[in-house]
Chain A
Amino acid sequence: MAEHSTFRLDGRPIPFAPGQTIMDAALAAGAYIPHLCHHPEFAPHGSCRVCVVCADGREVSACTAPAAKDMEVESQSESIRALRVSILQMLFVEGNHVCPACEKSGACQLQAVAYDCGMLEPHFTHFFPRRAVDASHPDVILDYNRCILCELCVRASRDQDGKRVFAISGRGIGSRLIVDSPTGRLGDSRFAITDKAAHVCPVGAILPRRGGYRVPIGERLYDRAPISRVGDVAANEEA
């Protein structure tokens, strides 16, 4: 086995192999860096920016930045934590995230990361966008109100399911998830509950039917343990 180089994450030495990102190496070493759009099975994306760290004085996304020998990476500093909280607050005000009324509450990665980072309130002015719910599919509800544009479903459907069911349309603040079907509705697409894309949504945008409140609030994944210990929603769903 080739000898590993190391970098330091908040002072702790983290071994890495050539080509690994800061995120890959940190997760492999059991060190948690908050993230939303990252998923180990898909190519690094770098869009949510929640995994921002300070690497040798430069702010980069840990999921896309290659690890380098003797690099000093700050993830838990007050400055980075505050930056992350602002980014999370931006995500909360952009969509309609009503945790107390959301079926995903307690098993939602956005909510769990916000708790982990110490976000106490959304701070910015809510946009309250008007977005429809697509209930056309027999097995899932597609609730655009909760979509955070992480593109995990886009990537899963394209790269693993080979279906290209999802895409991001538009630009800027008008960016939105769309479905590839003649009507634009999920029920008329090739999407199936068995698709990888049905099981990667970190929030409640792609919500399987007939499972609502099966696990009572208070006993859900992140009710029992913080995300820094138990990891992503997708990983736990598969486990």
Chain B
Amino acid sequence: MLNPSPSRIAAAVERSLARLGRDPSLVLQHLIALQQTFSFVPPAGIDRLVAALGVTRAQILAAIDFYAFLHLAPRGDYDILFSDNITDRMLGNGRLMTQLCQLLGMSPGSTRADGLVSVGLTSCTGMCDQAPAMLVNGLALTRLDDARIRRIAALVDTRVPLPHWPQAFFAVSNNVHRPGLLLSDLEPRDAGLAALRQQGPDAVLAEIERAGLRGRGGAGFTTALKWRFCREAAHPEKVVVCNADEGEPGTFKDRVLLTSYADLVFEGMTLCAGIIGAREGFLYLRGEYRYLLEHLEAVLQRRREQGLLGQGMADTGTDFDIRIHLGAGAYICGEESALIESLEGKRGVTRKRPPFPVTEGYLERPTVVNNVETFLAAARIAEHGGYWFRSEGTDRSAGSKILSVSGDCERPGIYEYPFGTSIARVLGDCGAQRTQAVQVSGAAGATLGVDEFQRVLAFEDLPTAGSFMVFDDSRDLMEMVRNFADFFVHESCGFCTPCRVGGKLLRDLVEKVAARKASRHDLDEMRRIADVMRRASHCGLGHTAPNHVLNTLDKFPQIYASRLASADHTPAFDLDAALAEARALTGRDDVGAHIAADVGC
């Protein structure tokens, strides 16, 4: 879609302004709308947004440059992005991308000359249980194989509009294999809201406190305490935010909860609003889950019509409503303060703390940010009571945890267990054989070897946001390390020095090892850089980004040792490569224009 006419751009901006509003905080949502309409953000659209919203051109350009799904140059009419988590790679996403590109006569990471199609990679799209997966114009396609790739190439080349593609390509299964405390009882009854009406906010908050519910996003802050802090904050306008930016590689349980149990999630948010006294709520939905938007909007609309949202909602005498804001391809926006920045239309850069969001969050208002699963659990606790929840789990980790299991196992999907369940139990249930390693809680989590499979999932042992990736003994874990190191370079927000620069230094050394050019000195350097990142980074992303390197250096040293070049020190500077420009200028490429690799400098 090259060069849309000025009048079309103007009309699109006006439509978006009319639909969403003119607050400067909505700039990101308008940019997403323009991107979807035109496959890029046209310059004339930027001019109009600058005029309409009172934001600067620089702020808009900065946001487009920050979010992976926004572009200044047109993408193809079919914008294809292969999910590139390690679990996609293990199932051959690279081969499939090459195959597609060959069929389409183009190279990966480019837009075809006729502007019809772009093909590239993107971070984990949350479909690891039905991988390899891709996004086409933002919509998820699953279970890719040779036959599907051939069909997709034909559909693209014959310009079949996306709505006419086989619906089976877009099918997303829930794959719930082990329902537990929460997933075995999911009929929406709004009984939690009934409890709020009958017993009042203090009683419901007391039940959530009694339940010992801790945040399900990974950090595990006590939910009741967070809500209490927010309620007690001075500013009268409180905000409830549901974090549905499920970006941790290997996590997809929120996808399932939003697909089938959105009522419970919204009920949990409404309970929170009733307790803290909020009128404004947001669901921040990762761009990769845009295919759920229509469904979620419909659920919200039905709830408004049922009187469960909006004016005088749930007969509590308060007004509360929920808006959905889309993300645009940025893992860091799963961090609550970066998410808030993104809600305000800015680049998703983490804030300093204090102040914490419960006192100064969205537009400096006291804000509760909780995970999808946390709100769902809160709704059920309000109905069944705190003791019901506490009946499972451990003393410090009450209740159950919903896991997203993927990788080398017979039955990838959703498994819910009481906290305190061992790794071995999960591996047995999902049909994992000859497992050499498990990555718990995503790329930022912990790499576990066989001798740790008796450890348990719990805040006091292995805290987890739910990602559980299995690697059998046929896998080369160096491929996992390379994937994660790349991921963190791509997803660092760039605010602080250790994460921004350290992440790239670390990735470059991982690649040096993988290329068999590293020495033992380089391994020591990796530890030194990782130490700086862990100790001095601004936020959790930087603190945890080097975990996979440190874990594998300690537990799987052979993946490094087997690749070391013999020398104690191998220079990073490649003398022969440095002469490439001179060779190009002189038009020479004979033997004499090269320096042999074994000549040191």
Contact = CB atoms under 8 A, between A and B. Distances in A.
* Mutual binders A and B: yes
Interface of A: 44-50, 52, 59, 61, 64, 66, 83, 86-87, 90-91, 93-94, 124-125, 127, 149, 164-175, 178-182, 184
Contact of B500 (A125, A165, A172): A172
A46 B496 contact: yes
A109 B34 CA distance: 43
Contacts of B493: 171-172, 175
B65 A171 contact: yes
Contact of A125 (B61, B494, B505, B535): B505
Nearest 7 CB-CB pairings of A with B: A175-B494, A180-B58, A90-B501, A167-B58, A169-B62, A172-B492, A170-B65
B59 interface: yes
Interface in B166-204: none
Given A149-B494, A168-B347, A178 B528 contact: no
A50 B501 CA distance: 13
Contact of A86 (B330, B532, B537): B532
Contacts of A178: 58, 61-62
Given A125-B572, A164-B58, A170 B496 contact: no
Interface string B475-512: 00000000000000111111111101111110010000
Nearest to A158: B56
A49 B538 CA distance: 8
23 contacts: A46-B352, A47-B497, A48-B497, A49-B536, A49-B537, A52-B535, A87-B497, A90-B497, A90-B502, A164-B59, A165-B58, A167-B58, A167-B59, A168-B347, A170-B494, A171-B65, A172-B491, A172-B492, A172-B494, A175-B493, A178-B62, A179-B58, A181-B57
B58 A172 contact: no
B354 interface: yes
B227 interface: no
A77 to B, nearest CB: 13
A22 to B, nearest CB: 13
Q: Which of A165, A171, A173, A178 has the most CB of B within 10 A?
A: A171
B66 interface: yes
Contacts of A66: 354
B508 A125 contact: yes
Contact of B56 (A47, A90, A167): A167
A164 B56 contact: yes
Given A48-B497, A166-B58, A172 B65 contact: no
A49 B535 CA distance: 10
Interface in B18-64: 56-59, 61-62
A173 B62 contact: no
Contact of B498 (A87, A127, A179, A180): A87
A23 to B, nearest CB: 12
Contact of B536 (A44, A45, A87, A170): A87
A169 B538 contact: no
A148 to B, nearest CB: 8
Given A66-B354, A83-B536, A125-B572, A49 B58 contact: no
Nearest to A92: B501
A47 B500 CA distance: 10
Given A47-B538, A172-B493, A173-B489, A90 B62 contact: no
A52 B501 CA distance: 16
Given A171-B330, A180-B56, A182-B57, A127 B504 contact: yes
A83 B535 contact: yes
Contacts of B498: 49, 87, 90
Interface string B83-125: 0000000000000000000000000000000000000000000
A83 B529 CA distance: 10
Contacts of B490: 172
A125 B532 CA distance: 16
Contacts of A87: 497-498, 532, 536
Instruction: Name, among B332, B497, B505, B536, the residue most crowded by chain A CB atoms within 10 Å (CB to CB).
Output: B497
Contacts of A125: 505, 508, 572-573
A83 B498 CA distance: 10
A171 B352 contact: no
B245 to A, nearest CB: 15
A33 to B, nearest CB: 14
Contacts of A44: 352
Contact of B492 (A90, A91, A168, A171): A171
Contacts of B503: 172-173
Contact of B494 (A49, A127, A166, A174): A174
A173 B501 contact: yes
Nearest to B501: A90
Contact of B58 (A61, A64, A93, A169): A169
B569 to A, nearest CB: 13
Contacts of A49: 496-498, 536-538
A17 B535 CA distance: 27
A87 B537 CA distance: 10
Given A50-B497, A172-B494, A180-B56, 10 more contacts: A44-B352, A49-B498, A61-B538, A66-B354, A87-B498, A149-B494, A170-B494, A172-B500, A174-B494, A180-B57
Interface in B65-92: 65-66
Given A87-B532, A172-B492, A94 B501 contact: yes
Nearest to A66: B354
Nearest to A124: B505
B494 A171 contact: yes
A49 B499 CA distance: 10
A83 B537 CA distance: 11
A44 B352 CA distance: 9
Contacts of A170: 62, 65-66, 494
Contacts of B537: 49
A82 to B, nearest CB: 9
B62 A168 contact: yes
Interface in B301-350: 330, 332, 347
Nearest to B543: A59
B504 A171 contact: no
A168 B500 CA distance: 14
A173 B494 contact: yes
B495 A167 contact: no
A90 B535 contact: no
Given A125-B572, A180-B58, A182-B57, A171 B347 contact: yes
Contacts of A124: 505, 529
B537 to A, nearest CB: 7
B536 A171 contact: no
Contacts of B496: 46-49
A52 B57 CA distance: 34
Interface string B527-544: 011011001111000000
Q: Give the one of A47, A66, A90, A184 with max B CB within 10 A.
A: A90
A36 to B, nearest CB: 9
A227 to B, nearest CB: 18
A154 to B, nearest CB: 9
Nearest to A180: B58
A61 B352 CA distance: 10
A149 B347 CA distance: 15
